[in-house]
Structure 1
Amino acid sequence: MFVDIGGVLLTNGWDRYARKRAAVHFKLEPEFDALEDLHHLMFATYELDEFTLEEYLSRTVFHTERPFTREQFREFMFAQSQPYPEMIDLIVRLKARHQLKVAVVSNEARELNAYRIAKFQLNGFVDFFISSCFVHIRKPDAHMFRLALDVAQTPVERIVYIENTPMFVEIAEGLGIQSVLHMDYPSTRARLAAYGLGTDEGVAHETR
């Protein structure tokens, strides 16, 4: 099983909504549009691990003197990550029941990725992480999925991918990867059951 992190297992790490909350919290609303422009210039490269979180913050927020510290801002950033417990529990149960290998295929910046893995104990059930900060490729680059297939060493027809971004689902399906466009827990659970990946409670459409 391939699975995304942000929007599937956890909330997004640092999306527009989180940045807006930061602007309100740190009283940066008058600068928000300018800060967004700086963010979009920097963040894709940051997710490829081309520079550190400190460099990202220096160029986007702390390019001028602020009445708050870098540590306070970092702590706020990290605190935006919250789990989707039902989805985590679903993957854990499916892994145990079907003896699945679980791989994360996700665009994540290094420091946020490390925090999220440790905080929510993702490495307790994920076998390997194809994170953009580790492999220096970002979705929608199809090479990211090809790399995940190479690492998995599993026939493509035996892989299911859970992703909440339609474009990334289309790219994965173009490579022959069965994919579930994640909208919510009930529909994803039902789609997985249709692929033969039912939970131990039993699902009407489950097949093996």
Structure 2
Amino acid sequence: MHTLCRLRASLLDCFDRDNYGMLSNCFEGILKKDPTCYHTLARLISMHQNGDYSADSLLEMIGLHLDATFADHNTWRDFALCFLKISQYEEDRMSVCLNGNGEKKQGFTVRYNRIPKILTEGKQGKSWMFRCRWWLNRHFSKKVLASDIATGDLQLLTYKAACASHMYGQEFHYVVKAYTSLQDENDRDLFMFLRMHMQNSIRLSDHLSRNK
């Protein structure tokens, strides 16, 4: 079955590469059989960057890949950017201005929670709840944090912290330590990247807890 999925994807890529729905289904099937296959994940990332694959679907596929691997900083960066994109369409801000009697206008912001149900409900919601708990030890434990800092790979530290902020919140220990480490290193670009994600955190684990 796995070989057939690969063959089908190869044929589609050669003869019907504009059929993005079929292609993505094939690539997803391959990843579900072999979540360590970065080449297949890279194809989905490329489709997403071209606007042909959704952020929430890519988030799920990268999640499967990270369940099975300890990926480099590029994969964590793509994962973080999926969370950020979801945060931008799950919070539809509507500004309302009221005119007083000759008084200054006052602005209000209304926030609508639109986290995709695929992340919080049903079978995949349970899968994400398990993942959030499991990754506390697998990817974000204090021991892993110390190791990530010791390697000196600030990009890995930054992008993992950005993902952690979306999964667990800005006050999560991995996020706080990475934030202070980047301040000490004086790397403005990475610092601003992490800060942006912290400010737009979707706090996925909180939503999952409420949906129990």
Give the TM-score of the pair, scaled to structure 2.
Answer: 0.27
Pick the structure with greater CA Rg.
Answer: 2
- Point out which structure has higher relative CO (alpha carbons under 8 A, 6+ apart): 1
Give the TM-score of the pair, scaled to structure 1.
Answer: 0.27
